[in-house]
Amino acid sequence: NDAFHYVEDRLRFIQDSFIALEHLILAIDRKNEQYISAAASKILFFTNLSDDIEGIFNRLFRIVMTKKELDYGSMFNLTQARNLDTQSLYNQRRMRIEPVAEEILFDDDLISEEYRQEKIKALLKNNIFGKKEIDQHVKDLLDGKKYVDASTINLETQEDFVKLILIFLYSKSVGMHYDIEVLSKECKNNFVTFQNFRIKGV
């Protein structure tokens, strides 16, 4: 009887360990996705401000393709803020004041329809670089084929180049339906030269 309970406890411990490991992997993957999404925003920000778009993308591809372990934090100045000391969140106590809500008057004529459409477009644009969207983008690129080489993908806009970088970065994330294989030769697609890689459906 004791042996049975011991084996049962061990099996339950092993099961719980696997469940905890799965949660840990998913948590790491979510954090990785946050860094990659932030990196995509930084890339667009830099390219929108610079006239040297060709140079920026060439350098980005060179960094991404040559480093096996990419430190997104140092590359894009992404940092995790922490408290400077135990008193850093201290606020002096103040007398409680009951808030009084004021009516907000909004004039629809102040914002044009064109401005609204631009804002909507910008919000939608932020959603095209997520892991789910990149995975779907790869499915569309493959379109039933077993693989496609990065050198053959039509790259015309800044978003196209960012998506190609994210395809590479997201390739090892959990739940993606593709993998990448780095090829031996460099290629030039539009104005960007990079190490060619193959995108394969899994």
Provide the pLDDT confidence category of residue 38 given band limits of 50, 70 and 90: low
The model scores a pTM over 0.75: no
Distances (CA, A) of 189 to 2, 55, 88, 89, 179: 68, 14, 50, 51, 20
Average pLDDT, rounded, for the chain: 70
> At a CB cut-off of 8 Å and minimum separation 6, what does 145 contact?
201
Instruction: Return the axis-axis angle of helices 53-66 and 158-170, rounded to nearest 10°.
Output: 10
User: What is the domain partition of the chain in residue ranges?
Assistant: 2-78+112-201
**Of 22 and 188, the one with more pLDDT:** 188
For 99-142, the DSSP string reads ----PPP--GGGS-HHHHHHHHHHHHHTTTTSHHHHHHHHHHHH
Task: Show the DSSP H helices in the chain as ranges.
Answer: 2-49, 53-66, 72-76, 113-125, 131-142, 158-170
How sure is the predictor about 200, in pLDDT bands with cuts at 50, 70 and 90?
very high
Looking from the CA of 140 toward its CB, the CA atoms found within 13 Å total: 10
Which of the listed ranges 83-92, 105-114, 133-142 does the model predict with the highest average pLDDT? 133-142
| pLDDT in the model for residue 141 | 94
Residue 43 has pLDDT above 50, yes or no: yes
The DSSP secondary-structure symbol of 143 reads T
pLDDT at 78 over 90: no
For residue 153, what pLDDT is reported?
A: 93
More reliable by pLDDT, 191 or 126: 191
Which pLDDT belongs to residue 69?
54
Instruction: Please report, for residues 44, 128, 176, 184, 187, the alpha-carbon distance to residue 159 in angstroms, rounded to integers and kept in the order given.
Output: 8, 9, 20, 26, 19
Ramachandran area for residue 196 (φ above 0: left; ψ -120 to 50: alpha; else beta): beta
